[in-house]
A and B are shown apart, each in its own frame.
Chain A
Amino acid sequence: MPEWIETTLLLWPLAVPLGAAALAAAFWSRPAVQSWIGTIGLGITLVASLLLLNQVIGNGIQSKQFGSWAAPFGVSFVADPFSAAMVVISSLLAFAAAIFGLTDLSDTQKRAGFYPLFLGLMVGVNGAFLTGDIFNLYVWFEVMLITALGLLTLDKFKSQLDGAIKYAVLNLFSTILFLMAIGLLYGVTGTLNMADLAVVLPQTEPSGALLISALLFLLGFGIKAGFFPMFFWLPASYHTASIVVSAVFAGLLTKVGVYAAFRVFTLLFEVDNAGIREMIAVFAAGTMLFGVFGAAIQWDIRRILSFHIISQIGYIMMGLAISTQAAMAGAVFYIIHHIIVKANLFLLAGAIYRTTGTYDLRQSGGLMKGSPWLAVLFVIPALSLAGIPPLSGFWAKFMVIDASFRDEAAWLGGVALFVGLLTIFSMSKIWIEAFWKDAPNPRNIPARLHITVVAPITALAAITVAIGVNPEPLVAYAQLAADAMLQPAAYIDAVLGRIETAEVLP
C-alpha cells in the first residue's frame, strides 16, 4: 500500500462517498450512470473502511488533525476499534443496500436524487463515527438528518409526508438538546475536543451545569437512538420510506445515536454520576418491553420490524447500563449483529413485497410453496433476531444477559429474556402469515426475484451464520473495543500525544 494512502486512510470513508455524491449529482438526469457511480463509490468505501480496520488492528488507534491545527484546537478525527468496526459494518450495509437498490429503485426515485442523498447520508454516518470533536459530531448529525429527510420523502406519498413531519420535528428537537448540551459543556470546560474533554472533565468541580449537560446528552442521543419513552417518531416514519431507504435507516441511524451515547458516557461522563446508570437501566428495560409490545399488534411487516428496532436498542443500552467490560463487549457485539440482521430483515420485507405485492400480512401468504428459498433466507435473520442458537443473535444476547446476571442487574436480564420470547412471537407471526398461510388472493404468476435482490440478502444471511458458528474472533474484537472504551488513556494519547497534521484539507 503506498504511503500516501496509508497516512490519509482515516479520511477515505468520508472522502469517497462525498466525491461520489458530487459526481452523482452532476449526472442528475442520468439515473443509470448515477446507480453505477453510487454502487462503485460504496464498494470503494467498503474497501477503504476494511483497510482502516486492518490499520487499527495492526497499529492501534489512528488519529488526524485537520488544517495544521494541533489538537485540542483543530478538529480531530479518531478511529479506535469501536468506531472502525462501526465504519466497516455501515459501509458493508450501504453496499448491500445499493446492490439491492439496482433493481428495486425506480427511475423516478433515482431522478428524485436517491444516490446523492444516500451517499451524503453515508458521509454523515461515517463522519459521526470517526470524529473526535463533540461539535463536529453535531454537524455530522445534522448532515445525516437533512439527507435522511430527503430520502424519506423520495416518493412524496401522503404517508411519507406525514411520517417525515414527525421525523423532522422530533429529530430537530433532539439535535437542539444535543447542541444545548455542547454549549453548557463548553461553558464549563472551555474545550470541545473529546480527548481533551476526557482529560479536563475529571479535574473539573462537579456542577449543576455539567449535570444538566450530561442529562441533555442522554435525552438528545436517546431521541436519536429511539429509547423509551422518546421513540415515537421511529415507528411513525421508518415504514413509509422506500424499502432500500428503510433498510439503511433501520441498520444505521439509530445506531449512530447509540454510538454517540456510548462515546459520551465512557469518554466524557461516568455513568455512575447522579443516577445516570439507573436512568439508562430503566430506559433500557422500557425500550425492550414497549418496542416488543408495540410490534405485537401490527400487521405491516415494516412496522413490526420498526418496533423491533426499538426493542433491540434496549438490549444494547443494557450494556451501557451495566458498563462492565463484559457488558460493553456484549453491546459492541450486539450492535454489529443487529445492524446486519435488521437491515437484512428489511431487505427481505422488500423481497416479500416483490413476490406477493403487499407489505400487509393479512393480504400476503403462500410463500412457503411459491418461494421456498426465500423462506430459508427469511428464517436465518428472523431466528437470529430472536436469539436462537447457533445464529449470531444467540451469542449477542448471551453476552449481554450473562453480564447482567454477573453484575447484580438480574432484573434487566430477566426483562431481556422475556422480551426475547415475545420476539419469537413476532417473527413466527410473519412466518405463519406470509409463508405458511395460503394467499387470500393468489397471483397467477409468482414473481421471480432478480439476482441483485437475492445476492445481498444471501450475503448478509451468510455473515449472520458465519458469526453464529464461529463467534470467537468477533467476541475477541468486541472485548478489544470494550477495553479501549473503558480505558480511554490510549484514545487520549492517540489524539493529544503525538502531533501529526493532515496534508489533506477537508
Chain B
Amino acid sequence: MNIFYAAAIAAIMGSGVYLLLSRHVVRIIFGVALLSAGTNLLIFVAGRLRSTQPPVIEAGTQVLDPLAANPLPQALILTAIVIGFALVSFAAALAFKAFQTLGTVNTSDMNDAEAMGSPYASKEAKDA
C-alpha cells in the first residue's frame, strides 16, 4: 500500500519540480501548488496508513480505540491546505498584476529589480 502512495507522491513531486523549473510564471505557480499537494500527502503517509476506523472516542469510554486512524496528520494537513491555498492564490494574483504591469510572464524578461544599481545598466531605475 505504502509503495503505491510513495510512487504517486514521487510522481506529483517530480511534476511539481519540473514545472517549477519553467520560465513561465503561471507554470511555476502550478509547480508550487503540486509540490504543496505532494507534501500534504507525504504528511498523510508519515502518519501511517493502516486503519480506516474514524478516530472518535465511543460514549462511555475515556481513551481512543488503539485501532482507530491517527487524527493528527489530518489536522496538520488541514492547516497546510489552508495556508497553501492562501499563498497560491496570492501568487496567482501577483502573477496577474505582474502581467498587467510588466506585460510579460516570462521570467527572463523580468529584470526591473535587477537593473537597479547594476553596473551594466546605464539608465537610472525608473521607480526608485
A146 touches B90 (CB 8 A): yes
Chain B, interface size category, equals 35 or more
Instruction: Flag whether B118 is at the interface (Cβ < 8 A).
Output: yes
Instruction: Flag whether A415 is at the interface (Cβ < 8 A).
Output: no
Q: For residue A179, which residues in chain B have a CB less than 8 angstroms away from its CB?
A: 36, 39, 43, 80
Q: For residue B58, which residues in chain A have a CB less than 8 angstroms away from its CB?
A: none
State the majority secondary structure of interface residues on B.
Answer: helix
B116 touches A180 (CB 8 A): no
Residues facing A in B7-42 (CB within 8 A) are 20, 25, 28-29, 32, 35-36, 39, 42
Instruction: Flag whether A342 is at the interface (Cβ < 8 A).
Output: no
Question: From residue A111, how far is it (CB to closest CB) to chain B in Å?
Answer: 17
What 0/1 pattern do residues 178 to 207 of A give for CB contact below 8 A with B? 011011101100000000000000000000
Indicate whether A300 sits within 8 Å of B102 (C-beta atoms), given known contacts A162-B112, A186-B47.
no
Q: For residue B79, which residues in chain A have a CB less than 8 angstroms away from its CB?
A: 135, 139
Question: From residue B38, how far is it (CB to closest CB) to chain A in Å?
Answer: 8
Which residue of chain A lies nearest to B105 when distances are taken between CB atoms in the complex? A165
Residues facing A in B32-73 (CB within 8 A) are 32, 35-36, 39, 42-43, 45-48, 72-73
Question: From residue B97, how far is it (CB to closest CB) to chain A in Å?
Answer: 6
Instruction: Flag whether A159 is at the interface (Cβ < 8 A).
Output: yes
A-B contact list, 11 entries, CB within 8 Å:
A159-B113, A162-B102, A164-B98, A176-B36, A183-B42, A186-B46, A298-B118, A301-B117, A359-B117, A360-B116, A360-B128
Question: From residue B105, how far is it (CB to closest CB) to chain A in Å?
Answer: 9
Complex CA–CA separation, A430 to B56 (angstroms): 65
B117 touches A161 (CB 8 A): no
Question: From residue B109, how far is it (CB to closest CB) to chain A in Å?
Answer: 10
Indicate whether A183 sits within 8 Å of B46 (C-beta atoms), given known contacts A162-B98, A165-B25, A299-B118.
yes
Q: Which 4 A-B pairs have the closest CB atoms?
A: A300-B117, A187-B46, A157-B127, A183-B43
State the majority secondary structure of interface residues on A.
Answer: helix
B101 touches A161 (CB 8 A): yes
A146 touches B116 (CB 8 A): no
A169 touches B117 (CB 8 A): no
Instruction: Flag whether A297 is at the interface (Cβ < 8 A).
Output: yes
A172 touches B39 (CB 8 A): no
Complex CA–CA separation, A301 to B90 (angstroms): 30
Measured CB to CB, the residues of A under 8 A from B are: 135, 138-139, 142, 145-146, 149, 153, 155-166, 168-169, 172-173, 176, 179-180, 182-184, 186-187, 236-237, 239-240, 297-304, 358-361, 363
Q: For residue A156, which residues in chain B have a CB less than 8 angstroms away from its CB?
A: 97, 101
Q: For residue A237, which residues in chain B have a CB less than 8 angstroms away from its CB?
A: 113
Residues facing A in B70-105 (CB within 8 A) are 72-73, 76, 79-80, 83, 86-87, 90-91, 94-95, 97-98, 101-102
Q: For residue B91, which residues in chain A have a CB less than 8 angstroms away from its CB?
A: 165, 168-169, 172
B42 touches A142 (CB 8 A): no
Indicate whether A162 sits within 8 Å of B116 (C-beta atoms), given known contacts A157-B127, A176-B35.
no
B46 touches A165 (CB 8 A): no
Question: From residue B8, how far is it (CB to closest CB) to chain A in Å?
Answer: 15
Complex CA–CA separation, A162 to B116 (angstroms): 12
B20 touches A173 (CB 8 A): yes
A186 touches B124 (CB 8 A): no
Question: From residue A364, how far is it (CB to closest CB) to chain B in Å?
Answer: 11
Complex CA–CA separation, A159 to B102 (angstroms): 9
Which residue of chain B lies nearest to A183 when distances are taken between CB atoms in the complex? B43
Q: For residue B28, which residues in chain A have a CB less than 8 angstroms away from its CB?
A: 169
A159 touches B112 (CB 8 A): yes
Other 16 A-B pairs with CB < 8 A, given A168-B87, A186-B73, A187-B47? A161-B94, A161-B101, A161-B112, A164-B94, A165-B91, A165-B95, A165-B107, A172-B32, A176-B35, A179-B36, A183-B42, A236-B113, A239-B117, A358-B124, A360-B116, A360-B128
Complex CA–CA separation, A169 to B45 (angstroms): 26
Complex CA–CA separation, A410 to B90 (angstroms): 46
Which residue of chain B lies nearest to A150 when distances are taken between CB atoms in the complex? B90
> Which of A142, A153, A160, A239 contacts B83, CB < 8 Å?
A142
Question: From residue A506, how far is it (CB to closest CB) to chain B in Å?
Answer: 13
B125 touches A300 (CB 8 A): yes
Q: For residue B72, which residues in chain A have a CB less than 8 angstroms away from its CB?
A: 186
Q: For residue B107, which residues in chain A have a CB less than 8 angstroms away from its CB?
A: 165
Complex CA–CA separation, A169 to B87 (angstroms): 10
